[in-house]
Amino acid sequence: MVSKDSLMKIRQDVENYVGQEICVKANVGRNKCIERKGYIDSTYTNLFVFRDSETDSKLSYSYSDLVTNTLELSLPTGEPITRYDFSTPKYTRL
């Protein structure tokens, strides 16, 4: 399980790229991926809004999509912006 602090860190990372051109690669299931170029329009508590530069349409994604690796953000040069590894869970004592 991902902690609330980890999701806040992811949100802050995404907020750093608001207005900048990025590439989104979304896994939509059954070995299908969609790649789009655009920019992050706005961020909210649980999701962020991506605006496609070709069609000028808005798509909303959850920060948990980044955690589960169903969504990848990268710069137009191909350098990944978000790459998170939560495979080794941290257990806290209650």
Give the domain CATH number at 28: 2.30.30.100
Model confidence, pTM: 0.82
Q: What is the mean pLDDT of residues 84-91?
A: 61
Residue 12 zone, left/alpha/beta (φ > 0; ψ -120 to 50; rest): alpha
Residue type present at position 39 = Y
How many domains is the chain built from?
1
Which residues form the domain of 17? 4-74
37-66: pLDDT as tens digits: 999 999 999 999 999 999 999 999 999 898
Which residues are CB-contacts of 92 (< 8 A; sequence separation ≥ 6)?
none
- Residue identified by tokens 């080794």 is 88
- Percent of the chain exceeding pLDDT 70 equals 88
Residue 43 zone, left/alpha/beta (φ > 0; ψ -120 to 50; rest): beta
User: Does the residue 17 lie in any domain?
Assistant: yes
User: Does the residue 79 lie in any domain?
Assistant: no
User: Does the residue 93 lie in any domain?
Assistant: no
User: Does the residue 88 lie in any domain?
Assistant: no
User: Does the residue 92 lie in any domain?
Assistant: no
User: Does the residue 85 lie in any domain?
Assistant: no
Closest CA to 61 of 16, 11, 12, 2: 11
User: Does the residue 50 lie in any domain?
Assistant: yes
- pLDDT at residue 90, rounded to an integer: 56
Closest CA to 7 of 48, 64, 49: 64
User: Does the residue 42 lie in any domain?
Assistant: yes
